[in-house]
Amino acid sequence: MSGIVAVAGTRDAKELIVTLTIVALSDSHTNSCRELPPQLLDALQTADVIIHAGDHTEMSLLDELKAMGEVVAVAGNMDSMALKVRLPMRQLVSVGGKTVGVTHGSGAPGGIAQRVRASFPEKPDLIVFGHSHVPFSGMVSGVLMVNPGPAMRGYAVITVGKEVTAQLIATG
């Protein structure tokens, strides 16, 4: 949930810095949230924004995520035709005043972060992607890139405030 991180300034002028929490997952390859790790389910229920970077597999999972809160989602290569028709392959959204790019990714795991980064010439503050099943959090060409890895093994908690930070969480 959003909260006040800091109060800064003089007695005459104060700046409130509000943070938002994104829980990012990818490659869930399941039909229902009930099949996800309990730790991830708990995190999803407290998120301000949920990002799913593709390979939900079935529409039912997306519908369950949307029942929990605000969802930003893209289609992945293993998604049903219903999801591929409904979801974009790439999105740019604003979260807490920061620009966030979301895509699934494609191709071999080697070099995927660089390929995904190149697909966002807009230079967002954050890019969330999946596909490789390899968790990653780091800077690529000046942009924070996060791959939460497969949902059955982990997810990412991303804090958006004055800065954008990410933490990879392993669930098993």
Tell me if 50 sits within 8 A of 23, measured CB to CB: yes
pLDDT at position 13 over 80: no
Mean pLDDT of 61-84: 96
Give the pair of three-digit tokens for residue 144.
């924070």
Report the pLDDT value the prediction gives residue 14, as an integer from 0 to 100: 57
Going by C-alpha positions, the residue among 62, 60, 2 that lies closest to residue 26 is 62
Average pLDDT over residues 47-56: 97
CATH superfamily of 3-170: Metallo-dependent phosphatases (3.60.21.10)
Average pLDDT of the residues in 123-134: 97
Q: Is the distance from CB of 155 to CB of 163 less than 8 angstroms?
A: no
pTM to 2 decimals?
Answer: 0.91
pLDDT greater than 60 at residue 11: no
Q: What local confidence, expressed as pLDDT, does residue 17 receive?
A: 72
Residue ranges covered by each domain of the chain: 3-170
